[in-house]
Amino acid sequence: MLALRQLWVILKKDILLELRTKEMIVSMLLFVMLTMVVFNYAFNAEKNDLTSFGGGLLWLAFIFTAFLGLNRSFVHEKDEGCFDGLLLSPVDRSIIFIAKMLGNLIFISVVEFAAVPFFTIFFIRYPYYIYWSRLAPFVLGLILGNIGIAGVGTFVATLAINTKRRDLLLPIIGLPLLMPVLAPSVIISGAMMGGNVAGNTAEMVSASMKILVAYDIVFFAAMALIYDAVLGE
Amino acid sequence: MTVDLKAEIEVAKLNKYFGRRHVLKNIEFSLAKGGFLSIFGPNGAGKTTLVKILSTLEKPTEGTVRIADVVLGDDPAKARKKIGLISHSPLVYLDLSAYENLEFYGTLYGVADLKERAEYLLERVELSHRRYDLARTFSKGMMQRLAIARALMHRPSILFLDEPYSGLDPHAVDILDGLIDSIRSDHTFVMVSHNLDKGLELCDTAMIIEDGRVIFFQPKREIDVDAFKDTYRRAVRGDL
């Protein structure tokens, strides 16, 4: 019971700090919108049908947007040595990891769900298509992908907290670790936005979902278990 | 040095390496319950590293640390409930109010009378009139007072003070003195300080660390203050 209260109070604190400072969400929103504008001009989206590339473009924008936010996810902990305050308290390290990860998952998801409507208008020939017939698998794909990104991102951001080049560590370590998340996420989002998928669409989407679920479970459990070691305990 | 098994803090054969650098070298000491140990030494001697190990923020490379009958390697979470730390950094969130900071830390420690305890401590550190103001609007002295309240929130029995007086105005010094005085009888203190007079005034045992080694450890009643100060100055100059 105390563990749940501790988890909730850390998560609540992160949400409260973000609502007050808006450091993560505003910078992520600006970045993802700017990326879309650049893509729009680069691929001449008005003339060319980019529906087939939709999944790739979407996740390219999302992964770097997520990294931007994740790099800032420990800023409040770093200020005034607050992370030491957290480590001094009798909180299981896996609780700290889960709470920080859930916070990151919420912030990344809020930005992505705000960006998706704009993305579909810019790049998808029939944007209404995903809203009605394929909304549920599209949203599920986004959430499963985000769980993987938030888990790995929170873990690597913790590794980077006391390093000088912490902005570099996340893409260098995080991107290779996230390849198994990105590929199925691109397939699911692309297929659900009406793009072409090699082979049978339903089978590919189903297989991709299973890969994401397996990845999320395995990495989440592994990272929660070894978080102690990362924090030097 | 003999190790007292009934001591509140007991350190045996403690070594700490950062890479190849041998930061703490075979540290051994014990401190009885209710004792007040002042640790002195030049910059880079290993004082803060020692406090970080005692307060569970760092792991020793070798050796044993026992805090309030808990061996740190066995159950650090149990030891953490009994430890409070006041360090250079206040460990408070700048965008939370004074009250929210205390409420946050109190919940992490499972403090039952959260509201009453926070209100009482804010009163004690004379910040109750600013309880709903964000910590980032506080002066250095007010921030340190909030740090003191944070460290006492869960009623620790052992307090580690890492240069707690640095940057405090005279009023804040008086408040900290008063707080230490009021809880002195039932708490064990370990304080790192560069202020010889203050450190000696408060302690009942003094230690000097130089280059990771304990070069002086004595009860205050046995200390010749002039000889002690001379040893300290030579340690700071690197003449030892």
What ipTM was assigned to the predicted interfaces of this complex? 0.87
* Predicted local distance difference test score (pLDDT) of residue A194: 75
Residue B8 located in a structural domain: yes
For B95-112, how does the pLDDT look when each residue is reduced to its tens digit (9 = 90+)? 999 999 999 999 999 999
- Per the structure, how many domains does chain B have? 1
* Predicted local distance difference test score (pLDDT) of residue A202: 80
B91 touches chain A (CB under 8 A): yes
- Contact between A76 and B94 using a beta-carbon 8 Å cutoff: yes
Dihedral sign for Cα A81, A107, A16, A94, please. Answer: negative
- Residue B4's pLDDT band, with cuts at 50, 70 and 90, is low
- The pLDDT of B58-73, averaged and rounded, is 90
- Contact between B95 and A76 using a beta-carbon 8 Å cutoff: yes
Grouping H, G, I as helix, E, B as strand and the rest as coil, residue B37 is strand
User: What is the spatial distance between Cα B143 and Cα B164, in angstroms, rounded to a whole number?
Assistant: 12
- Residue B185's pLDDT band, with cuts at 50, 70 and 90, is confident
- Contact between B85 and A88 using a beta-carbon 8 Å cutoff: yes
The CATH number given to whatever domain includes residue B11 is: 3.40.50.300
Closest residue, chain B, to A233 (C-alpha): B59
Angle at B233 between CA B85 and CA B197, to 5 degrees: 50
Q: What is the DSSP code (8-state) at residue B224?
A: -
A85 touches chain B (CB under 8 A): yes
Residue B155 located in a structural domain: no
B contacts of A17 (beta carbons < 8 Å) = 93, 95-96
B contacts of A5 (beta carbons < 8 Å) = 107, 110
- Contact between B100 and A16 using a beta-carbon 8 Å cutoff: yes
Facing B59 at nearest CB: one of A10, A16, A232: A232
- Residue B132's pLDDT band, with cuts at 50, 70 and 90, is very high
Residue B98 located in a structural domain: no
The residues pairing with B217 across neighbouring beta strands, listed in sequence order, are: B207
A contacts of B150 (beta carbons < 8 Å) = 85
B75 touches chain A (CB under 8 A): no
The HSE-up count of residue A78 (CA atoms within 13 Å, CB side) is: 14
Query: Which of B195, B190, B187, B201 shows the shortest CA–CA distance to B160?
Result: B190
- Residue B66's pLDDT band, with cuts at 50, 70 and 90, is very high
Residue B69 located in a structural domain: yes
B39 touches chain A (CB under 8 A): no
Looking at the complex, report in whole angstroms how far the Cα of residue A12 sits from the nearest Cα belonging to chain B.
Answer: 9
- Contact between A90 and B81 using a beta-carbon 8 Å cutoff: yes
Average pLDDT taken over every residue of chain A: 88
* Predicted local distance difference test score (pLDDT) of residue A127: 60
A contacts of B134 (beta carbons < 8 Å) = 20
Domain that residue B233 falls in: 1-82+192-240
- Contact between B109 and A92 using a beta-carbon 8 Å cutoff: no
Give per-residue burial for B147-184: e unless 16+ CB within 10 Å, then b. Answer: bbbbbbbbebbbbbbbbbbeebeeebeebbeebbeeee
Residue B112 located in a structural domain: no
Q: Assess contact for B150 and B125: CB atoms under 8 A.
A: no
- The pLDDT of B119-129, averaged and rounded, is 93
User: What is the spatial distance between Cα B216 and Cα A13, in angstroms, rounded to a whole number?
Assistant: 44
> φ and ψ at A28, to 5 degrees?
-70, -40
User: What is the spatial distance between Cα A53 and Cα A33, in angstroms, rounded to a whole number?
Assistant: 18
The residues pairing with B31 across neighbouring beta strands, listed in sequence order, are: B9
- Contact between A9 and B108 using a beta-carbon 8 Å cutoff: yes
Closest residue, chain B, to A11 (C-alpha): B104
Residue B58 located in a structural domain: yes
- Contact between B91 and A88 using a beta-carbon 8 Å cutoff: yes
The C-alpha R_g of chain A, in whole angstroms, comes to: 18
Average pLDDT taken over every residue of chain B: 90
